[in-house]
Every structure is written in structure tokens, then in C-alpha cells.
Structure 1
Amino acid sequence: MSLKRSRQNGVVLVIVLMMLIGVTLISMAAVNTSVMELRMARNAEYGVNNFQTALSAVDFVISDTANLPTVGPLMKPEPVPLPGTSVFGVETGDTFTASAARISECGLPPRMRAANSLMAYSAFDYEITANLDKNSTGRGQTGVVQGFLQLGPKC
């Protein structure tokens, strides 16, 4: 009778060990999934931050008309010097550039109605480009291209 009982205790031990291994494997899978989700969230955050930084460089170029070329060939990007990297939070080793290209000159401004005062002006189209390369720190690369229309004296 005691021999039968000891065999049953051994079976319970094996079953409990198998359950423990199963719970361990499930826990390891959950931890790996959590780590992967954290990496994906970090990459998404880097992408959003880089986009916002590049967009702020475009806004910087547009904010000062001295950055917009008024003479020279069309469609030729002119580099725009950006203030120190500390303004945009760019680290040493990262590449941050901006340029402005004149697309057209002396065009007609967009009209909202048949007769308005806009016809007394000319429109100048620009394409502003900002590139932020943080590959040296493993944070990706972002580029933003934005169109800009400036009204000026009639040509």
C-alpha cells in the first residue's frame, strides 16, 4: 500500500514541475512582448520629436524673409544657416540642415472672389526643406518639405 502511495506523490511532483515550466514560459513571453512594445514606443517618440524639430526649422526659415531667396535661378535650393543646435535641441554629431527654393515668381495670387485687392500684388512660391539626421545616435532621420506663398509688390 505504501509503495502505491509514493508513486502517486512522484506523479504530482512531475505535473507541478510541468505547470511551473509552462508558467515560466508564459511569463518570459509576456516580458519579451513588453520589451518590444517599449522599443516601438520609443521609436515612435523619436520619430515625432524629430518631425517637430524639423518642422520648427521650417518655421524658422519662413519667419524671416531674409531667408527666402528673391533673386537667382528658380528651383535651386539655397541653404539657410540655422542658429546654434541648442535652439532646436540637436546633439553634437547630428546633421541638421534647412534650405529654401524659389519655385515661381511674379505669379498671380490665389483669388477668393472675382474682384479683390489681391490683384494688386504678385505671388512668390517657395519650397522650404528641413532635414534632421540623428542616425549617429540611433534615433532616425526625418525630412520635412513645406510649400510657402509670399505676397509681394506687383511685378
Structure 2
Amino acid sequence: MSALGADENSEIPYFKTKALGEKEARKVKSHAIIRPSFVLGPGQRLFRDAFRWKVFPKLKTIVQPIDVRDLAKIIADILDVDENFKVSLCWEKAVALGEFVQRVASMAGKRVLLIPASESILRLAGKFSPAVLMALNPNTCERNDALSFLKPRPLEESIR
């Protein structure tokens, strides 16, 4: 399993190592490269941290997260396929990350204040935490292959 944004030339180690993993997978006769957007599920740390601190940067980065259960079903469905392929897997709707966190907080009965933060300040913070840099990179599908496998579950189910 790889990730959207996998790139050998990325400044973000996570994306670089995912691209190197894809390169190795392509050396195998029969392979599938699965590129999900960020994965939602129980214990999602992004939300836990936002709820604890009650503030989150008003990030305009567009994301299309996918539920871990949908991802697992798609992986199980493609195990029997004999051809080599790459799939990008996303939720059906694209949304700004800041709005997404606020929406999730509202569904959970929590309040999160979105605070403006310039990209330069966030990039500086990214020197100490690569996760911040990841949050500045769009995480969307050019072609959403998840929709050909299933109808992604509603957001409300993904954040319980």
C-alpha cells in the first residue's frame, strides 16, 4: 500500500519512501499499487489532537479521506486480480482540511477553533514535524478508483 502524493523527489520522507516502495513493487511480476488518501478510522490522531487543543490551523489544503473499512474491502476485492495496476482511493467529496476537521468536531459534539496560519509559518513548523508538511499537500484523487469498487460510507460512519 502506497499513498497519494508518493514521489521519490518529495521533501517529505513519508512520500519519498512510499514512492520507493512502489518502485520495488513494480519489479514483481504481478502487483497492485494502492494509493489511498488519508485513512479515517477509530483513534484517528488528527482529530484527537485537534479536540484536545481545541484549535487547528485553518488549512485550505483539499483532502478526500477514505474509511479504513472501505479500504480493506477494496484490497480484499483486488487480491484475485491477475493484472498489474495502480488505484487511487478517495472519499467521493473533496473538502478543505480545516473545514473537514471542524465538521468532524461538530459531529462529535466538540468545538474546534480554526485559526489562520500562513504557509511560511506552517513550513517552518514542518521542519520539526513532517506531518505539518504533509497537511500542506493536497490529498485528492485525479481519478477516484474507489468509486468503481463501492460507494464510500458516509463521513458520519467513518468518525465514530
| TM bucket normalised to smaller | under 0.3
Q: Report which structure shows greater RCO (CA 8 Å, sep ≥6).
A: 2
TM-score by length of 2: 0.22
Tell me which protein shows more helix as a share of its residues: 1
Structure ID, larger Rg = 1
TM-score by length of 1: 0.23
